[in-house]
Amino acid sequence: MNAPKHPTRVPILVVEDEPLVRIFIADFLEEAGFTVFEAVNADEAIALLEARPDVQAVITDIDMPGSMNGLALTKVIHQRWPRLGIVVTSSRKWPGADELPEGVIFVAKLYLFEAVMQMLQQISTPKMATD
Task: Give residue 70's pLDDT.
Answer: 93
Say how many C-beta atoms besides its own lie within 10 A of residue 122's C-beta: 11
For 75-100, the pLDDT digits (tens) are: 999 999 999 999 998 877 667 767 78
* Alpha-carbon span 7 to 129, nearest angstrom: 19
Sheet holding 35-39, edge to edge: 35-39, 11-15, 57-61, 85-90, 105-108
**pLDDT tens digit string along 14-23?**
999 999 889 9
pLDDT at 104: 83
d(CA 53, CA 99) in angstroms, rounded, equals 25
- Cα distances from 116 to residues 44, 105, 111, 122, in angstroms, run 22, 10, 7, 10
Is the torsion defined by CA of 89, 92, 95, 101 positive or negative?
Answer: negative
Q: How many helices (H) and strands (E) does the chain have?
A: 4, 5
CATH number of 11-123: 3.40.50.2300
Residue among 31, 16, 29 at smallest CA distance from 121: 29
- Low pLDDT (below 50) residues in the chain: 1, 6, 131
Radius of gyration of the chain (CA): 13
Q: Which residues contact 51 (CB under 8 A, 6 or more apart)?
A: none
